[in-house]
Amino acid sequence: MSKYQMLKKVLFKFEPETAHHIAETGLKLLGNCKIGKKYMEKRNFISDSKLSQEIFGVTFPNPVGLAAGFDKNATMIKSMKSLGFGFTEIGTVTPKPQDGNPKPRMFRYPEVNCVQNAMGFNNEGIHTVLKNLKKLYPFEIPIGGNVGKNKITPEEFALEDYKVLIKKIKDYCDYLVINISSPNTPNLRDLQNEKFITELFTMAKEITNKPILLKIAPDMEAAQAIELCKTAVNSGAAGIIATNTTIDYSLVPNCQDFGGLSGTCLTEKSYLLFKEIAKELYGKTVLISVGGISNGQQAYDRIKAGASLVQIYTGLIFEGPSMVKKINEELLELLAKDGYNNISEAIGADLK
């Protein structure tokens, strides 16, 4: 049994949110401990030029990143390279601090390696997050900033929330992500419409040249998702992240009837929608795939389907940091098997 599997036995005795806070404390300590950080980097971080690529004018040392939702307040960035990640994404951050939804709001289903969360963008607000980012940006690996509107902000004023966030965070991250696809803020997914997306990205491009991506939900029809993504790209989006968590509760027996499901239950659903989007947009924008990825083959499948990068979160909870290392090692093996000298050659291979 690995050290993490032993640690997991202890962590899983706590409520999921409490366990997350314990993990956050540990990772904050690790990030400030030079000896421990260096040891963990040597243990988990795969340094190989075959995995490195330049995107948005920034070097991504490997294509596996941490998805948004784990490091909401940008407190754990220092330890992300120690966990093996090639990039990290903080947030979702809102203009004002907010507590999120009532507890309990996070549930784990270990028998199927899934998590259900109804957090509701709980974070300390852009002011605090900026203080944390300013202490270390630019960092050793790229940082993405995921932004969303406050729960109390009416839909008709949502654009102003995103405007405030983009203005404040643009100089302290390598790319930004517009989150209008979380199921945990009332009516947020209603903003997944062509009118709002056009207004949003038109406004954003007037503020900054920093790459801004749109993150979409997995629960819409493929045709609708494709049209929304095309609208975003035509309006100035630098890329698409697919997908967020799902509200298809049929995927996990006896789960809650609120919040979003992630993990193994999302693997196929997310992959299928990503493939449909990639058929239309591969080569026209940067595509990032997230949702139920837990091994190298799954990551490689998304890459060959058109993803330049992949992200994980839930798998980390069940497998620990060794999973990131294993994914990158498996990617190197798969690249060698197919005769590729760099991961960029494999991107979109199934579409060529």
Instruction: Please write the tens of the pLDDT for every residue from 116-141.
Output: 999 999 999 999 999 999 999 999 99
The annotation status of 118 as a binding-site residue, yes or no, is yes
Say whether 216 sits in a helix, a strand or coil. Answer: strand
Q: What string of pLDDT tens digits covers the 352 residues of the chain?
A: 678 899 999 999 999 999 999 999 999 999 999 999 999 999 999 999 999 999 999 999 999 999 999 999 999 999 999 999 999 999 999 999 999 999 999 999 999 999 999 999 999 999 999 999 999 999 999 999 999 999 999 999 999 999 999 999 999 999 999 999 999 998 899 999 999 999 999 999 999 999 999 999 999 999 999 999 999 999 999 999 999 999 999 999 999 999 999 999 999 999 999 999 999 999 999 999 999 999 999 999 999 999 999 999 999 999 998 999 999 999 999 999 999 999 999 999 999 8
The annotation status of 62 as a binding-site residue, yes or no, is no
In angstroms, the Cα distances linking 139 to 80, 114, 172, 309 are 11, 31, 10, 18
The annotation status of 139 as a binding-site residue, yes or no, is no
**Token pair of 129 as six digits:** 């997050």
Secondary structure tally for the chain: helices H, strands E: 12, 13
The annotation status of 341 as a binding-site residue, yes or no, is no
Domains of the chain with bracketed CATH = 3-351 (3.20.20.70)
Q: What is the DSSP letter of 285?
A: B
Residue 2 falls in the annotated catalytic set: no
Q: Which of 182, 262, 270, 289 is catalytic?
A: 182
Please give the model's pTM, rounded to 2 decimal places: 0.97
How far is residue 28's CA from residue 31's CA, in Å, rounded to a whole number? 5
The annotation status of 44 as a binding-site residue, yes or no, is no
The annotation status of 146 as a binding-site residue, yes or no, is yes
- DSSP bridge partners of 115: 108, 262
Q: Provide the CA 127 distance to its chain's centre, in angstroms.
A: 21
Q: Buried b vs exposed e over 152-163: b needs ≥16 C-beta within 10 Å?
A: ebeeeebbebbb
The annotation status of 350 as a binding-site residue, yes or no, is no
